[in-house]
């Protein structure tokens, strides 16, 4: 046995305990850091081959591991842009240089330009779904992702192109006086209105008239605010027939002959193109007249607040009450999350050990859901860390004693020559 080997083994042990104390100190310092994942120091022995008559002391080496897959508790807040992932997955964020990272730290707020950024300055990434576009997800990369900006949601006007109607026409209503005439201001059984929007966001009220022209047969026409008819008068395109048989039960007669109309098409108010009124769900059952319509399009307005649902859809609620789904937050994961490389700012980057990034949407492909108005706490247990600190301190002291003993014995050997 070499006395120098004893001393080197003691130094190895002190270095190992120092590493453990470093991870413990880091964990304690970040006990209140949102989304922080605790680090731990694992020990493994380095054994030297020894002869039968002597023993050569080896050393100990350390490996730092991160409990990235261990979730922290949720802390609920009053901000809708505070986000937490419930289940698997990470938020995709980007630094100012355009580099993408993964994180569980979801304390996002709008910056001066409207970008959602967390406390470390990383910008939240997602897919643009304005105008009803479906997310174009690139499963094995960050393609198609954009920085989520809440300022882009304000003061946007879009023309109305579709109204979905849920209505009932009263079967007991009397026939109009002149069945051959088109339904209109002077010739109707029932009347209602819809608010639509032109190309620059002006509200345009469309008046809808329904005239009962025969048994289970109605003419429906649309007029603009000036009183001009936008539909083509009494024709097959504006005639709605109902099947009152035991199979139809008051629904539209789609068999005929001729089959009932199911929709009306009129010019977009104040713009180009057409506006479709879908009436396929309209009925004629034993009930009074009822008309409900959901119309797309909106007037320009400032953003009042931002709502985010469990699927990560970012919806701007405008001051005029309009709701505009604008972005969908992306989530990402890797085959081995615990092997991700920690970076400055409580973010992670993939490497060979973690595997390649897989991007998707919340609630799909094994990814978790998004909780708005909540933050994920650090997964550090303070009591465990203080216990580990004592263990590291005692271990360091014991290793220093073995080093000191080796040094004392070496002094004895040196003094033999005197």
**DSSP bridge partners of 145:** none
What's the maximum distance between 2 C-alpha atoms anywhere in the chain? 135
pLDDT for position 75: 93
Where does residue 231 rank: exposed (0-12), middle (13-18), buried (19+ CB within 10 A)? buried
Residues ≥6 apart with Cβ < 8 Å to 52: none
DSSP H or E stretch at residue 391: helix 382-415
Residues ≥6 apart with Cβ < 8 Å to 92: 100, 101, 102, 124, 125, 126, 142, 145, 330, 331, 332, 359
Rounded-to-integer distance, Cα 282 and Cα 309, Å? 31
pLDDT for position 200: 83
Tens of pLDDT along the chain (418 residues) come to 577 777 888 888 888 889 999 999 999 999 999 999 999 998 887 777 766 667 667 778 888 999 999 999 999 999 999 999 999 999 999 999 999 999 999 999 999 888 999 999 999 999 998 877 778 888 888 988 999 998 877 667 778 889 999 999 999 998 887 777 888 888 899 999 999 888 888 888 999 999 999 889 999 999 988 888 888 888 888 999 999 998 889 999 998 888 999 999 988 766 667 889 999 999 999 999 999 999 988 888 778 889 999 999 999 888 877 788 889 999 999 999 999 999 999 999 999 999 999 999 999 989 999 999 999 999 999 999 999 999 989 988 988 888 788 878 787 877 887 6
CATH superfamily to which 162-295 belongs: Flagellar hook protein FlgE (2.60.98.20)
Rounded-to-integer distance, Cα 273 and Cα 14, Å? 78
For the chain, which residues make up each domain, given as ranges? Answer: 3-70+379-415, 74-156+301-376, 162-295
DSSP H or E stretch at residue 101: strand 100-103
pLDDT for position 271: 63
**DSSP bridge partners of 187:** 184
User: Pairing mode, if any, of strands 109-110 and 116-117?
Assistant: antiparallel
Q: Buried (b) or exposed (e) across 136-157, using 16+ Cβ within 10 A?
A: ebeeeeeeebebbbbebbbebe
pLDDT for position 269: 64
Q: What is the pLDDT of residues 319-364, one digit of tens each?
A: 877 788 889 999 999 999 999 999 999 999 999 999 999 999 999 9
Q: Which phi and psi angles does 168 have, rounded to 5°?
A: -135, 135
User: How many residues are there in the chain?
Assistant: 418
User: Pairing mode, if any, of strands 162-168 and 274-278?
Assistant: parallel
Task: For 117-157, give the DSSP string.
Answer: E-TTSPEEEEEE-GGGPPP---TTS-TT-EE-BGGGGSS--
Where does residue 413 rank: exposed (0-12), middle (13-18), buried (19+ CB within 10 A)? exposed
Which of 143, 147, 110 has its CA nearest to residue 126? Answer: 147
pLDDT for position 263: 94
- H-state helical runs in 180-303: none
Rounded-to-integer distance, Cα 43 and Cα 63, Å? 7
pLDDT for position 344: 93
CA atoms within 13 A on the CB side of 40: 17
**Where would I find the beta strands (DSSP E) of 215-345?**
217-223, 239-243, 251-252, 263-267, 274-278, 290-295, 303-308, 313-318, 323-333, 341-343
pLDDT for position 36: 94
**Where would I find the beta strands (DSSP E) of 367-413?**
369-372, 374-376
């Amino acid at each position: 046995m070499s006395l120098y080997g004893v001393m080197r083994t003691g130094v190895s042990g002190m270095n190992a305990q120092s590493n453990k104390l470093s991870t413990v100190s880091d964990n304690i310092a970040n006990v209140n850091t949102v989304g922080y994942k605790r680090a731990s120091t694992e020990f493994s022995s380095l054994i030297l081959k020894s002869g039968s008559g002597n023993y050569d002391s080896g050393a100990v080496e350390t490996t730092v591991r991160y409990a990235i897959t261990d979730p922290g508790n949720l802390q609920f807040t009053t901000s809708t842009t505070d986000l937490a992932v419930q289940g698997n997955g990470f938020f995709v964020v980007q630094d100012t240089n355009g580099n993408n990272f993964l994180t569980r730290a979801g304390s996002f707020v709008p910056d001066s330009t409207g970008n959602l950024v967390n406390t470390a300055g990383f910008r939240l990434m997602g897919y643009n779904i304005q105008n009803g576009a479906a997310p174009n997800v690139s499963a094995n990369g960050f393609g198609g992702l954009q920085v989520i900006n809440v300022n882009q949601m304000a003061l946007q006007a879009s023309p109305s192109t579709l109204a979905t109607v849920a209505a009932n026409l009263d079967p007991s209503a009397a026939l109009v006086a002149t069945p051959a005439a088109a339904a209109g201001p002077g010739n109707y059984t029932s009347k209602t209105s819809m608010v639509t929007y032109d190309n620059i966001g002006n509200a345009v009220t469309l008046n809808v008239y329904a005239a009962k022209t025969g048994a289970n047969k109605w003419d429906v026409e649309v007029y603009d605010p000036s009183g001009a008819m936008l539909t083509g008068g009494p024709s097959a395109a504006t005639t709605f027939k109902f099947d009152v048989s035991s199979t139809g039960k008051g629904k539209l007669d789609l068999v005929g002959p001729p089959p009932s109309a199911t929709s009306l098409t009129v010019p977009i108010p104040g713009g180009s193109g057409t506006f479709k009124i879908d009436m396929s769900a309209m009925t004629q059952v034993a009930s009074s007249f009822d008309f409900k319509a959901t119309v797309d399009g909106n007037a320009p307005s400032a953003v009042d607040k931002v709502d985010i649902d469990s699927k990560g859809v970012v919806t701007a609620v405008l001051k005029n009450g309009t709701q505009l789904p604008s972005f969908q937050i992306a989530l990402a994961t890797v085959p081995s999350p615990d092997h991700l490389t920690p970076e400055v700012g409580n973010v992670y980057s993939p490497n060979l050990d973690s595997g390649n990034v897989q991007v998707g949407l919340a609630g799909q492909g094994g990814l978790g859901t998004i909780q708005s108005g909540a933050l994920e706490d650090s997964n550090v247990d303070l009591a465990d860390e203080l216990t580990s600190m004592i263990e590291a301190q005692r271990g360091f002291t014991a290793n220093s004693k073995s080093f000191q003993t080796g040094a004392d014995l070496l002094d004895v050997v040196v003094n033999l020559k005197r």
